[in-house]
Homo-oligomer: A and B are copies of this chain.
Amino acid sequence: MANGNIPYKIYLSEEEIPRAWYNIRADMKTDHRPILHPGTLQPMTAEELEPVFCTELVKQELNDKDRYIEIPKPIRDFYKMYRPSPLVRAYCLERALDTPAKIYYKYEGGNTSGSHKLNSAIAQAYYAKEQGLKGVTTETGAGQWGTALSMACGYFGLDLKVFMVKISAQQKPYRKTVMETFGAKVTPSPSDTTNIGRKMLEEDPNSGGSLGSAISEAVEVAVTSDGYKYVLGSVLNMVLLHQSVIGQESKAAFEKIDDYPDLIIGCAGGGSNLSGLMSAFMADKLAGKTAPYFIAVEPASCPSMTRGKFAYDFCDTGMTTPLAKMYTLGATFRPSSNHAGGLRFHGMAPILSQLYHDGFIDEVRAIEQTEVFKAATLFARHEGTLPAPEAAHAIKVAIDEALKCKQTGEKKTILFGLSGTGYFDLGAYMQYNEGTMTDQIPTDEDLRRGFEAIPKVE
C-alpha cells in the first residue's frame, strides 16, 4: 500500500491485533513512585491490594519490569469482535480546512459501549472470572466505563454492581438501560446501600454524587462482599497497560502506509485513552529515537495538568483509596455543574503525570467546552461521525494544528485519538445547538480550596 494511495480507513487483519500489551513503565527511566497506603503512607504491597483487586491485576499494577505482558487468548478472541479499530484518514476534514497537513484518527468508538474503555473492561472481567469470583463492583460517571464493563461481564457471565453518579443516572437514564440490558445492576450514588453512601446522604440528602463518591461506594461493597473485587476503568497502571493496544495498532497501521506521525494529540481525563494512543510511540521517545510531538488536551473546567499540583493524593472523594503521585486538583475538587461530558476526574494517571513532569509529554492545552462543541460539529458534518465531547477536545487541537500548517505550508502528519461517539451526550449537543452552553473555568480560589484537601506527604 504505497503512500499517495492511502484508503480512507486503514484496517489491520485480525492476526495483527497485538499479542501482548506494552508496559511503558519498563521503559521509563525516571522514578516510579509507588502508591501509598492511606493509613501508614508506606508503599502498598500486593498483599494489601488483593482485598480490593484481582490477584493477576495487582501483579500487573505493580509490574515495572516486563516490557510486554501476553494477552490471554479469550481476551484476544473478544477483541476480534471489535478490533483492530480503524485508523482513518480524515480526507474530508482536510478538504474542509484546506490544509496541507495529513490528518489521521484512531477510532475507538465503533463498539456498542461507544469508547475505548472496552479494551480494559474485557481484560479485567477475564481475570476476575479466572480467579473464580462471583462478580465485580465499579463506578461510572457519564456511563462509558459502566457500559463497557457491563458488556464484558455479560460476556463472561459475571455479576456486576455499578455505582453510577446520581446526577448522571438522572440525566442519562438510557445509559442505565444499556447496562441493564447487558445484565448489570445499577445503583445511583450516593445510595443508602453502603456506609459511606449513607454518610454522604446524611451530610447532603440532595447530593448529585461524584465519581469520587461512587468509587468509595464500589470499593466498600467489594471489600465487604464475598466473591467480589473492585475494578476501575482509568488512572491505574493496569488500565493504561490494557489500553496500549490502541497505540500499537496505530503504529502498525502507519507502518503499512509508510508514514509516522509528527504530532500526536489525545484528550486526557483519567489518562487511559491518551496513554493508550501514545505509549507505543512514546517508547521511541524514551529510547532516544525520533518521536512525535505529544499534546495532551484537557477541559479548562477540570485542568488537572495545566493548573494542578504534582503531589500524592487520594483517588476518591471519600479519601479511602491508596495515594498516588499525580497531577491533582485535590480530591474535593469538582468541575462546575455546567461541565458536559466526561474528563471530570480531579487527578491524572500517575504514569502520564510522571511523563509530563519529566518532559516526555511536550505540551498540555486546556480548552473551553463551547470551543470543543464547535469543533465537534465541524468534524461531524465533514467526517460523518458524531464525536464524544471528550474526544472532541483532541479534534479541536488537531484542527488548530492543521490550520497552522495551512499558514506555514507544512505537510505534517497529525494523529489524534477519537476515543468515543457522542450518542450518549446529546443533551450537551442540544445545549450547544440552542446556545445555552456556557464556559465556566475554576477561579484561583476554587483551586485553592481543592489544594487544601491534598494531604501533606513526603
- Contact B80 A178, beta carbon cutoff 8 Å: no
- 13 A-B residue contacts at CB 8 Å? A7-B14, A11-B11, A78-B384, A111-B384, A112-B384, A112-B421, A155-B384, A174-B427, A174-B430, A177-B430, A178-B426, A182-B381, A423-B423
Q: Tell me if A9 counts as interface (CB < 8 A to partner B).
A: yes
Having A81-B383, A181-B433, one finds 18 other A-B pairs with CB under 8 Å, namely A8-B81, A9-B14, A9-B80, A81-B384, A111-B385, A151-B384, A154-B381, A155-B382, A155-B384, A173-B430, A174-B426, A174-B427, A177-B426, A177-B427, A177-B429, A178-B386, A181-B377, A183-B381
With most chain B CB atoms within 10 A of its CB, the pick from A174, A182, A424 is: A174
Q: Are A381 and B155 in contact (CB under 8 A)?
A: yes
Interface size class of A (residues with CB under 8 A): 35 or more
Within A373-390, which residues are at the interface with B (CB < 8 Å)?
A: 377, 380-386
| Interface residues of A, dominant DSSP | helix
- Give the complex CA separation of A80 and B9 in angstroms: 8
- Cβ contact within 8 Å between A380 and B7: no
Min CB gap A341→B, angstroms: 14
The proximity string for A residues 406-447 relative to B, scoring 1 for CB distances below 8 Å and 0 otherwise, is 000000000000000101101101100100000000000000
In this complex, what residue of B is CB-closest to A173? B430
Shortest CB–CB separation between residue A7 and chain B, in angstroms? 5
- CB-CB under 8 A from A383, the residues of chain B are 81
Taking the complex as formed, is A82 at the interface, i.e. its CB lies under 8 A from any CB of chain B?
yes
For A423, the chain B residues whose CB sits under 8 A away are: 423-424
Q: Is A364 an interface residue (CB 8 A)?
A: no
Contact of A13 with B by CB under 8 A: yes
Q: Give A83 Cβ to nearest chain B Cβ, in Å.
A: 9
A159 at the interface (CB under 8 A from B): no
Provide the bound-state CA to CA distance between A334 and B433, in Å.
Answer: 33
> A180: which B residues are within 8 A, CB to CB?
433
- Minimum CB distance partner of A387 in chain B: B112
**How far apart sit A78 and B180, CA to CA, in the bound complex (Å)?**
36
Say yes or no for A92: interface residue by CB 8 A criterion.
yes
Interface residues, chain A, with chain B CB atoms under 8 Å away: 7-9, 11, 13-14, 77-78, 80-82, 91-92, 110-112, 151, 154-155, 173-174, 177-178, 180-183, 377, 380-386, 421, 423-424, 426-427, 429-430, 433
Chain B contacts for A81, CB-based, 8 A: 8, 92, 383-384
A155 to B154, CA, bound (A): 38
A177-B151 Cα distance, complex, nearest whole Å: 27
**In the bound complex, what is the Cα–Cα distance between A377 and B154 (angstroms)?**
10
Q: Check A110–B110 contact: CB distance below 8 A.
A: yes
Residue numbers in B under 8 Å from A80 (CB-CB): 7-9
Known: A80-B7, A421-B112. A380 touches B182 (CB 8 A): yes
Query: Bound state CA distance, A384 and B181, in angstroms?
Result: 11
CA–CA, A9 and B377, complex, Å = 30
A382 to chain B, nearest CB (A): 7
- A112 in complex: contacting residue of B92, B173, B385, B433, CB < 8 Å: B385
Residues of B near A92 (CB, < 8 A) are 81, 155
Q: How far is the CA of A111 from the CA of B384 in the complex (A)?
A: 8
Residues of B within 8 A of A430 (CB): 173-174, 177
